[in-house]
Structure 1
């Protein structure tokens, strides 16, 4: 075979290989999208009624706040090491499936308990085992496309669409079957989602020994690198460290509001409104997520992150003063937009500023900061809401204002 023929043959092989990889990647996008849509249907059904369920079982407002504290404290502790393990083993789908199935299992058990303390314990365990999903999920999405804003925007739209469907379904199921059956159905859907995730085809990658692992040690420089230095310390330095601090502050405000919002909506507008209001937030996120992601790719993550922080302040301020349920539906739409802006812009910021070999850890640290904010926020929210819901909602402007000022210093 001549030299020219060899070059042509090699070119054809490379083209065939690229097409094969593209087909596999597209197939993985579809499988993950279907699985995450179903998972978020389950999340959307169950989450808004956890606080309501606690109140039905006799919990105080402070204990309702502890429900979020327990979940997010354990998530904060375990997300980073699970991200480390995902990077170390090159396994994304296994950790996603394990986390989703674990959350489903504990929801099923919740359907059969009879005390608020039992629900609190189960929610704590959900935080431990469910945290396996989040960093691997974010890292896998970032690896499906080089356009970080667009791919996160696409999945946020899909997942929020699922969450919206779950919100509306949950409202109907509670009305006809009760809260316990709602948790049972949610758990079964999460098992279905976990099974679908396992159909994803991952590229084989070399595995390292995990002996001697230190909790916050970095993953690898390449597929065969050894553990050396600390990715955690590197990620928390400079502008990235400042960025993570702002995320923590924003999530304090988020935890203050959302840890008690279900109870507030139920007491102010009726039980039917809980799922509907959350559903409208999810609808807004689903409709705008992909397009906002494309805008982030074009104009940069920082400016949209600043808009998102301002959106939090405006939404929580309006929730505090508006009493007409139809106007609240409009506020819910605004609130959904600010949420998807936050997720898209922060995920894109990490993807654009953290190298691939540490991306799951970077995403894990992002999610850990969000969870940590939801440890502090609900403690404040539960206490202040015992005095006045309005006082609690208005006080969220303090951490949000500080976060906005600090975010202005981030490089564009």
Structure 2
């Protein structure tokens, strides 16, 4: 995550280095190049998840890591926006290091400790996301953008080598077990009502959390950054949320192992919704920073708890397939959230957008509670009917 986030902020500047001077054209291409990665990843995530259940989860981490290192190396050699667009499309197709790592960690950790393990994994990813742009910014002052891509490729290659030599996959798919096809697996997963509730909650989480993100720097500018350091405080607003997330994830993961991941996810969503409300009322940057930190503490309990619940509700042997569809749902939220947020902020302003985000998280928490309860009651009823039929026969 540190390596990947080193290059994201500089994609528009990389286009400018290629000779693109029209600001509107640059913004359009930067948006396409950024979004195409999520689009291809959204489409192929279920395929990689289903394959992981057949051949193993570690090999999927290695496939993604080595594949991305090659694609990013080639990205550093791109000479036109079209080449860059194609390589970002290809990167999304081979990517999936983090989802594959989640699946590998979840299936190779005792269930009673999976929340803590996934929380630690989340902390590692968030730490990288915080440090990456900072390191990339420092490097950009010393070397050119192409060199940053080459360094990113090398770091991802080394990270994948760590997995290759140091990570042991104790729980592997049975090679002799007969397997259904991709579409049969997908149909089976999509007919699991608890999983469908969790997939929709994952979509809502990512949609709500990312919808205001592109507007944050403008909001900081409107509030009046101390000393006029708009870029610094805009970065700090993002970083403080990530730091709180990193600190809270292992603790909330362990709490979920002891008291239930569903409870942690429900109250984390409620907390995030509540802390988004005062975002709409702040009058200076320091107030915004305080509420972003409190929001980050709640965010630390969201995705690890969601991933724990998916493992708990996934059919045995199809955990990675379930994570594949979950990844697609979250990537869809990653894509549509910023687009919708940008559209809404032009109508109701960013303060109104914060309130819409809070309402969406409240609805998500309600849906988690009622949807899972109904799904469990439906499963219990089906089981009871099946037992009665068996007894009658």
- Aligned residue-pair number: 358
Q: Equivalents in 1 of 2:75, 2:281: separation in Å?
A: 35
Q: 1:65–1:382: 8 Å Cα contact kept in structure 2?
A: no
Q: Equivalents in 2 of 1:289, 1:368: separation in Å?
A: 22
Q: Deviations over 1:170-226 (max 9, x none)?
A: 343345546554444323211111122111333565436999x743332xxxxxxxx
Match of 2:168 in 1: 201
Residue 343 to residue 130, structure 1, CA distance change in 2 (3 Å): same
Match of 1:372 in 2: 332
Q: 1:247–1:370: 8 Å Cα contact kept in structure 2?
A: yes
Q: 1:160–1:286: 8 Å Cα contact kept in structure 2?
A: yes
Residue 170 to residue 391, structure 1, CA distance change in 2 (3 Å): farther
| Match among 172, 176, 197 for residue 138 of structure 2 | 172
| Match among 116, 130, 137 for residue 101 of structure 2 | 137
Q: Give the stretch that moved more between structures: 80-89 or 313-322.
A: 313-322
Q: Equivalents in 1 of 2:148, 2:283: separation in Å?
A: 28
Q: 2:6–2:136: 8 Å Cα contact kept in structure 1?
A: yes
Q: 1:78–1:128: 8 Å Cα contact kept in structure 2?
A: yes
Q: 1:315–1:335: 8 Å Cα contact kept in structure 2?
A: yes
TM-score by length of 2: 0.76
* Alignment RMSD: 3.5
Q: Give the stretch that moved more between structures: 74-83 or 118-127.
A: 118-127
Match of 1:101 in 2: 66
Q: 1:65–1:259: 8 Å Cα contact kept in structure 2?
A: no
How far 1:158 sits from its partner (Å)? 2.9
Match of 2:310 in 1: 350
Uncovered stretches (5+) of structure 2, i.e. residues with no partner: 377-393
Residue 162 to residue 255, structure 1, CA distance change in 2 (3 Å): closer
Q: Equivalents in 2 of 1:192, 1:275: separation in Å?
A: 28
Q: Give the stretch that moved more between structures: 304-313 or 173-182.
A: 173-182
Match of 1:45 in 2: 6
Residue 168 to residue 307, structure 1, CA distance change in 2 (3 Å): farther
| Match among 183, 186, 190 for residue 233 of structure 1 | 190
Q: Helix, strand or coil: the match of 1:198?
A: helix
Q: Equivalents in 2 of 1:381, 1:61: separation in Å?
A: 17
How far 1:93 sits from its partner (Å)? 1.9
Q: Deviations over 1:16-61 (max 9, x none)?
A: xxxxxxxxxxxxxxxxxxxxxxxx2213423455577679963576
Q: Equivalents in 1 of 2:310, 2:74: separation in Å?
A: 36
Q: 2:217–2:230: 8 Å Cα contact kept in structure 1?
A: no
Residue 309 to residue 358, structure 1, CA distance change in 2 (3 Å): same
Match of 1:27 in 2: none
1:242 has 2:197 as partner: yes
Q: Equivalents in 2 of 1:53, 1:303: separation in Å?
A: 44
Q: Deviations over 1:325-363 (max 9, x none)?
A: 444433442343233211111011112222331111122
Q: 2:104–2:169: 8 Å Cα contact kept in structure 1?
A: no
Residue 362 to residue 185, structure 1, CA distance change in 2 (3 Å): same
Q: 1:134–1:367: 8 Å Cα contact kept in structure 2?
A: no
Residue 130 to residue 145, structure 1, CA distance change in 2 (3 Å): same
